[in-house]
Structure 1
Amino acid sequence: MENFFAFADLLRSLKTTKRRGWVLRGVHDPESVADHMYRMAMLALTVDTTKCNVSREHCAKMALVHDLAESIVGDIAPCDNVPKEEKQRREMDAMKHIQELLPAEAGAEVLALFEEYESGQSPAACLVKDLDKFDMILQAYEYEKADKRPGGLQEFFDSTEGKFKTELVQGWVAELRTKRTEWIERQTTCTSPQ
């Protein structure tokens, strides 16, 4: 039972670990890592399997696992200047520790999902990586609206430009960009001097 409670405590830490990118940008009440993973998993469950040759359930599990290592290593941001290889090593060490806390079958599945996501080679991993980036820019748009900062989080959109690989999520991104552009134009019009 001790391992069960240790694992549960790691999950608790994901609920309280604020996503670092938002914290660094001064976002009021930023989402937690768990918030991000949950929305990604729910988005995965909405995928039209006739358009994407993936299992919704498999993608949802991968979304729930992809940032699990952050319960130990924290949310390492690009500005932390941690080399990619070092970040990968830390995260893999964390995932192996987490695997040891779980029953053998569950631990093996969690580690395999993480490794599949990290490799980015399978159709499911490509989709979940797209969901990861999409959730980030959707969240950026939502923060811009909530904080009344039209275009204030543009760097998040710029960082994903041309990086979406799946046709489904590319469509979502195009629609989001249209909605955001229209909203920014309305805000600019409303605040311009007459």
Structure 2
Amino acid sequence: MEPRKLLETILVAERLKDTTRHCYTAKGRHESVAEHSWMMTLMAFFIRDEFPTVDMDKVIRMCIIHDLGECFTGDIPTFDKNQNHEKIEKILLNNWVSSLPEKYSMEMKELYKEMEERETIEAKIYKSIDSLEALIQHNISDLSTWIPKEFDLNMTYADDKVAFSDYLKLLREVIREDTIKKIKIGK
């Protein structure tokens, strides 16, 4: 990518460093969307041996770009997001992606389509990681930062997303165990 275009592109993506999510960090500040994407990417890196036949580099690319639409809309928690929010985000993201050099624009559009359809193993793994990372972050944060609906949500969320993989089902169960302990202890 031509250097000036690269800097312009990074300038847009940099917004995610200051775009906060509903989740909190262990030290009590709001997590940024960039931090969420980074943690997802790290998770994909560390679980790649569990999926030896999967293109985990593609999963990592999906993790890196999955929330770029939030550069334009901000983060809306999954329990508040509706179809209108998703439509607006998709339009704004597509406009931006279309402005990128063709090679990157085409690759990103193909990845977003695959992620949305969730038919490939790579897209299923990416979506599982996206959901599981949010649960992990909630377990890391102080219980006082949880809103009432999150107590049930942390017990059930992502079960459907991990159903295709024994490893991810096991990871989900370990996360649930941590949630149960956290709620019992009250921290």
Q: Give the Cα separation in 2 of the matches to 1:182 and 1:76.
A: 28
User: Match for residue 175 of structure 1?
Assistant: 174
Q: 2:104 aligns with which of 78, 101, 106?
A: 106
Q: Give the Cα separation in 2 of the matches to 1:119 and 1:129.
A: 11
User: Match for residue 12 of structure 1?
Assistant: 14
Q: Give the Cα separation in 2 of the matches to 1:118 and 1:135.
A: 18
Q: Larger RCO: Structure 1 or Structure 2 (Cα < 8 Å, ≥ 6 residues apart)?
A: 2
Q: CA deviation at 1:15?
A: 0.6
- CA deviations 1:43-72 (Å, max 9, x no partner) are 111224554642111100001111111111
Q: Give the Cα separation in 1 of the matches to 2:87 and 2:149.
A: 33
Q: Give the Cα separation in 2 of the matches to 1:32 and 1:78.
A: 15
| TM-score, with length taken from structure 2 | 0.80
Q: Give the Cα separation in 2 of the matches to 1:50 and 1:143.
A: 27
Is residue 71 of structure 2 the alignment partner of residue 74 of structure 1? no
Asked if the contact 2:20–2:31 (Cα under 8 Å) also holds between the matched residues in 1, the reply is: yes
Q: CA deviation at 1:130?
A: 0.6
Identity %: 19
Instruction: Tell me which amino acid in the other structure corresponds to 2:92.
Output: A
Asked if the contact 2:139–2:182 (Cα under 8 Å) also holds between the matched residues in 1, the reply is: no
In the alignment, structure 2 segments of 5+ residues that lack a partner are none
Asked if the contact 1:66–1:113 (Cα under 8 Å) also holds between the matched residues in 2, the reply is: no
Instruction: Tell me which amino acid in the other structure corresponds to 1:132.
Output: D
Write the mapping of 1:54-133 to structure 2, written as runs, cut at 5 A. Answer: 54-78=54-78, 80=80, 83-84=82-83, 86-133=84-131
Is residue 151 of structure 2 the alignment partner of residue 154 of structure 1? yes
Q: CA deviation at 1:168?
A: 1.9
Instruction: Tell me which amino acid in the other structure corresponds to 1:120.
Output: R
Q: Which moved more, 1:3-12 or 1:29-38?
A: 3-12
Q: 1:180 to 1:89 in 2, by over 3 A?
A: closer
What is the root-mean-square deviation of aligned Cα atoms in Å? 2.9
Q: Which moved more, 1:71-80 or 1:100-109?
A: 71-80
What SS is found at the alignment partner of 1:46?
Answer: helix
Instruction: Tell me which amino acid in the other structure corresponds to 1:175.
Output: V
Instruction: Tell me which amino acid in the other structure corresponds to 1:39.
Output: M
Q: 1:5 to 1:155 in 2, by over 3 A?
A: farther
User: Match for residue 23 of structure 2?
Assistant: 22
Q: 1:74 to 1:161 in 2, by over 3 A?
A: closer
Across the two proteins, how many residue pairs are aligned to each other?
A: 180
Q: Where is the strand percentage greater, Structure 1 or Structure 2?
A: 2
Instruction: Tell me which amino acid in the other structure corresponds to 1:170.
Output: K
Q: Which moved more, 1:54-63 or 1:98-107?
A: 98-107
User: Match for residue 33 of structure 1?
Assistant: 33
Q: Which moved more, 1:106-115 or 1:71-80?
A: 71-80
Instruction: Tell me which amino acid in the other structure corresponds to 1:70.
Output: E
Asked if the contact 1:46–1:56 (Cα under 8 Å) also holds between the matched residues in 2, the reply is: no
Q: CA deviation at 1:159?
A: 5.1
Q: 1:83 to 1:70 in 2, by over 3 A?
A: same
